[in-house]
Amino acid sequence: MKTYAYGFPRLGKNREFKRLVEGYWSGKLTEGELLKGIEELNKKREEAYARVGGHPSSEMTLYDHMVDQAVLFGLYRAESLPDYFELCRGKNALQMKKWFNTNYHYLVPDFSGKELSLSNLPYPKWKKGEENAYLIGPFTFVKLSKEVKEEEFKERVLEVARLTVQFAKEMEFKSLHIDEPALALELSDKEWEVLKEVYRELSKAEIPINLFTYYAGVDRLSEVFELPVSGVGVDLIHDGGGNLKQLKEIESDKTLFAGVVDGRNVWRNDLFKTARVLKELSGRFKTVITNAAPLFHLPVSLSGATLPQELLKKVAFAQEKLEELSLLAELLQGKEERAKEWVEGLESSFGEIKRVRERVASLKEEDFVRRPAYPEREKIQKEVLNLPLFPTTTIGSFPQTEEVRRVRLFYKKGKLSQEDYETFIRGEIAKAIEIQKELGLDVLVHGEFERSDMVEFFAEKMKGIATTGNGWVISYGTRCYRPPIIYGDVERDGQMTVKEIAFAQSLTEKPVKGMLTGPTTIIAWSFVREDIPIREVAYQIALALKDEIADYEKEGIKIVQIDEPAIREKAPLKKREWDEYFDWAVKAFRLCHSCVKPETQIHTHMCYSEFGEIMEYILQMDFDVISIEATRSKGDIIEAFEKVNFDRQIGLGVWDIHTPYVPSVEEMAEIVERALRVIPKEKFWVNPDCGLKTRRWEEVIPALRNLVRLARKLRKEEQ
């Protein structure tokens, strides 16, 4: 059986991609040096791919495939590299959005009123005459773009298809690898019709096309097999069994690219079980073994990863997934030896904590319910906290200066004693508290200087979660993060954040928020074990956070914020599966705070997603206050709050923290004014959109000064 792979990370083992592109941005590298470096990086990818039979040929991008194709189809002009990067990260950069249900962000092409035509990218991506030229399919490209009205959808997709044909001809491509992950969404009858027309159009390229779907099952897989393409790629891992079931009913002479190796999670493949599935499929289809989703959601390779020995033998990163593909091919030829070695000990589990299991097993419905109900605790909290109208606060982090990052790294490398490190952090906290006092903010934060990443920080403090050392994955552009691996039962290994929060609180009479990352966000930004239901993993994390909150209360902390910025992104692609997902996500959140005293105020924070459609679920989380990012779609969010009859307090971000300038009082007032038409003034908080760790103090101080001024002005107007 043949093997094929796609989506291998462009990052490079040592994050060469990041260094090259950022080196160019900072002027350290010339354009020539950048392109040469990228070509070398590409060669290394080719070498990795060498262990499989085939792969797409033009998968490199300098930032993101969607923006590349937006330029290719003439939605934007980019005649030079500076033009191109201006689209990616300049003042008028394209909007950024989560790519399907992943933590990768793409740039959203805007179609408004534009005419399409083929244009050139300012760097070489596709090569004349190549095989398996990589493209995002017309359907997905348009579906993920904005300003395409429903009635023009079909015409727009057809236009893109025509240009794709023209491009393929001009470039004399021999065959195409086309990604259409949007086919895993819930599509309307009309959209399925459009798809057929589009592929009829695309077939005019008169070359073989292999179409790949992934991230979930495809509702009408048989219709995809009827499209005029040569092969269809399906995800047989994250499809809930739906794809395999449909395949059993499908008769087709097309090639089946059977996605049996996980592209999104790190666990090693149970090769023998997979081989049985493949055998069955190969009796009915021309079958090629492939990965189930692009491999760029995984770190490049295990070499150099700092994982516990037992774990090392259970996981595979991108490079090792390629190895799994070749092992499967071997196995199907009857060669079992290497495969046997690979799966040895796979079933054995480790990291079980009986205490934790029992705690989760004994949870009852009432453990998820906070008493008294909101209206009553609102009164109590008002009295205890005694905050002014329009209270001001921030989302948690303050600037992570060069110095903060350097000292943290020193400590991690063991070049600084714990004592010296803690003294340094306390110093930073004290400075931050001083600044907030001086600014006159009402609810203070300690600044999160000790946290490099809001998930990794907690992962390091919890049993059952491993951090990878160098397991970097791109989240957007050149920005990377290291998803931890949740492998065993999760429990707090002593207090995680209490010391810092309590110290901050000791410096001021004003309330300081205890700051936690919520269970769903920890799960969404980690690789999660699959040997127990995800609901149980979420409850285990929630119990750890619950214990932390109990300790906060003992230290006199009156306000606790549990961040859940990833709650929307983790939702399944198909809305009909939302109830099931939100049931555990919401309950895990409630479990964190169900036991707190009535006077303890629970906040949450969310950002950079479309919240309108999940508002009902958000309400069920039963927090007291929510701060929410609202730069991109203020109107929508306000409307959504109106619709659900929201009785909680809300801080709608008044400062888009991604803008490079300091917003004026008037600019911020405008946002408040609109919001106050819908949200009662007694419930309104004034805060920035998100954490301030990527900003500089030089911007933060004047911006917060304006923010406090605004709140004071609003209060005066109420008198």
Instruction: Give the integer Cα–Cα distance in Å for 415 and 396.
Output: 28
CB 540 within 8 A of CB 490: yes
What residues does 133 pair with on adjacent strands? Answer: 176
The dihedral region occupied by 540, where left means phi > 0, alpha psi between -120 and 50, and beta the remainder, is alpha
Question: CA quadruple 510, 516, 520, 526: dihedral positive or negative?
Answer: positive
Measured CA to CA, the distance from residue 277 to residue 253 in angstroms comes to 18
The piece of 148-156, 168-176, 219-227, 599-607 that touches Zn ion (CB under 5 A) is 599-607
Q: Of the two residues 471 and 565, which places its CB atom closer to ligand GLN in the complex?
A: 565
- The entry of ligand GLN, Zn ion, none near residue 54 (CB within 5 to 8 angstroms by kind) is none
Residue 158 binds what, of Zn ion, ligand GLN, none (CB under 5 to 8 Å, by partner type)?
none
Of 156 and 408, the one with the shorter C-beta distance to ligand GLN is 408
**What is the Cα 120 distance to its own chain's centre?**
30
Q: Which is nearer to Zn ion, 507 or 607 (CB)?
A: 607
Cβ-based nearer residue to Zn ion, 323 or 563: 563
Span of 126-134, 435-443, 478-486, 682-690 interacting with Zn ion by CB under 5 A: 682-690
CB of 585 to ligand GLN, least distance (A): 16
Strands 485-492 and 527-528: parallel
Q: Active-site residue among 55, 238, 605, 658?
A: 658
Instruction: Count CA atoms closer than 13 A to 71's CA, side-chain side.
Output: 26
Answer with the entry of ligand GLN, Zn ion, none that 320 interacts with (C-beta below 5 to 8 A by kind). Answer: none
Closest CB to ligand GLN among 57 and 561? 561
N-term to C-term CA, the chain: 78
Supply the DSSP string of 668-693, one letter for each residue: HHHHHHHHHTTS-GGGEEEE-SS--T
DSSP string, 39-71: HHHHHHHHHHHTTSSB--S----SS-HHHHHHH
Q: How far apart are CA 468 and CA 402, in angstroms?
A: 23
Q: Which of residues 332-351 bind Zn ion (CB under 5 A)?
A: none
Find the binder of Zn ion among 256, 429, 607, 638 (CB under 5 A). 607
By Cβ distance, which residue is nearest to ligand GLN? 691
To the nearest whole angstrom, how small is the minimum distance from the Cβ of residue 621 to ligand GLN? 15
Tell me the two tokens of residue 49: 């791919």
SS3 146: strand
| Shortest reach from residue 546's CB to Zn ion, in Å | 22
Task: Please name the residue that has the structure tokens 């999670």.
Answer: 265
The nearest distance, CB 566 to ligand GLN, in angstroms, is 8
Of positions 194, 343, 690, 700, contacts Zn ion by CB under 5 A? 690
- Which residues of the shown chain bind ligand GLN in the complex (CB under 6 A)? 395-397, 448, 454, 515, 563, 565, 605, 607, 690-691, 693
DSSP 229: -
For residue 451, the minimal CB distance to ligand GLN (Å) is 8
> Would you say 291 and 325 are in contact if contact means Cβ atoms under 8 Å apart?
yes
Determine how β-strand 95-98 pairs with β-strand 105-108.
Answer: antiparallel
- C-beta of 632: minimal distance to Zn ion in Å? 12
Residue 96 near Zn ion by CB under 5 A: no
Q: Which stretch binds Zn ion (CB under 5 A): 398-406, 505-513, 606-614, 640-648?
A: 606-614
Cβ of residue 518: shortest distance to ligand GLN, in angstroms? Answer: 10
658 is catalytic: yes
Length of the chain as a residue count: 719
Nearer to Zn ion, 325 or 628 (CB): 628
Least CB distance to ligand GLN at residue 100 (A): 19
d(CA 181, CA 195): 13
- Residue 209, classed as helix, strand or coil, is strand
Q: Which is nearer to ligand GLN, 180 or 450 (CB)?
A: 450
Binding mask 554-593 for Zn ion (x = CB under 5 A): -----------x----------------------------
* Nearer CB in complex with ligand GLN: 441/515: 515
The item of Zn ion, ligand GLN, none sharing an interface with residue 396, based on CB under 5 to 8 Å by kind, is ligand GLN
Partner that binds at residue 397, options Zn ion, ligand GLN, none, CB closer than 5 to 8 Å by kind? ligand GLN
Rounded to whole angstroms, how far apart are CA atoms 629 and 609? Answer: 9
Residue (of 472, 457, 491, 461) closest to 359 by Cα position: 491
Q: Which residues bind Zn ion (CB under 5 A)?
A: 565, 607, 690
Q: Which residues are catalytic?
A: 658
